[in-house]
Amino acid sequence: MNDSRYVKSRLGVTLVEVMIAVAIISIIVTTVASLYVQSGETTMFIRDRSDAMYKAQEGVERMIDKVRNSDGLTSIGTDAFTITNHTATPITSTFSYSSTNHTIMLDGAAYTTGITTFTVTYLDSGGIATTLPADVTKMVFAITATVDDTSKNLDTSVSIRRLTL
């Protein structure tokens, strides 16, 4: 009798044990694969959202640079303004905001997209709000860029140099 117990213990694994081992390995592989796919999708979503936010911020920074290097304002509004650069022939550029397209426009063409709010406050040399373009020395922008239900506020100000006026 001792020989038969020894033979039974040396026969190996049963089919049920193999199936259980395969099932456990399958569960582990499936879990790891799904985590890998999910992390890839999350990475792509974050990258796309970051790229869109970067483009909106870059557009706003380019607009601010144009304002900073302008010679002054010829007209102002809460969501639109016109700057002038005095060269041999003065050049004017009008920035405006389209709330239906969520776009900052430059001379009627799309300049920066993904902007959900855009307001401008105009300040004189004493820091007091003004409505006269000739008195404006500083502009304060309150901008919200939104991509995929994620918003970022871009609050900044710019002083106008007025080099040739």
Q: Is residue 165 part of a domain?
A: no
Q: Phi-psi bin for 149: left (phi > 0), alpha (psi -120 to 50), beta?
A: left
| Number of domains composing the chain | 1
pLDDT classification of 32: cutoffs 50, 70, 90: very high
What pTM did the predictor assign? 0.66
In a domain, 4, yes or no: no
The whole domain housing 100 covers: 15-159
Residue with tokens 């004493």: 126
Sheet containing 115-123: give its strands across: 115-123, 138-147, 150-159
Q: Are 49 and 145 in contact (CB under 8 A)?
A: no
Q: Would residue 8 count as lying in a domain? A: no
Residue 3 lies in a domain: no
Q: What is the DSSP string of 33-102?
A: HHHHHHHHHHHHHHHHHHHHHHHHHHHHHHHHHHHHTSSEEEEE-SSEEEEEE-SSS-EEEEEEEETTTT
Q: Is residue 6 part of a domain?
A: no
Of 18-32, 69-83, 107-121, the range with the highest mean pLDDT is 18-32
Residue 52 to residues 12, 45, 72, 119, Cα–Cα distance (Å): 60, 11, 30, 20
The answer to the question of residue 50 being in a domain is yes
Tell me what the mean pLDDT of segment 124-135 comes to: 89
pLDDT per position as a tens digit, 73-101: 888 988 889 988 876 677 889 999 998 98
Of 18-27, 83-92, 134-143, 151-160, the range with the highest mean pLDDT is 18-27
Residue 29 lies in a domain: yes
Q: What is the mean pLDDT of residues 142-152?
A: 80
Q: Is residue 37 in a domain?
A: yes
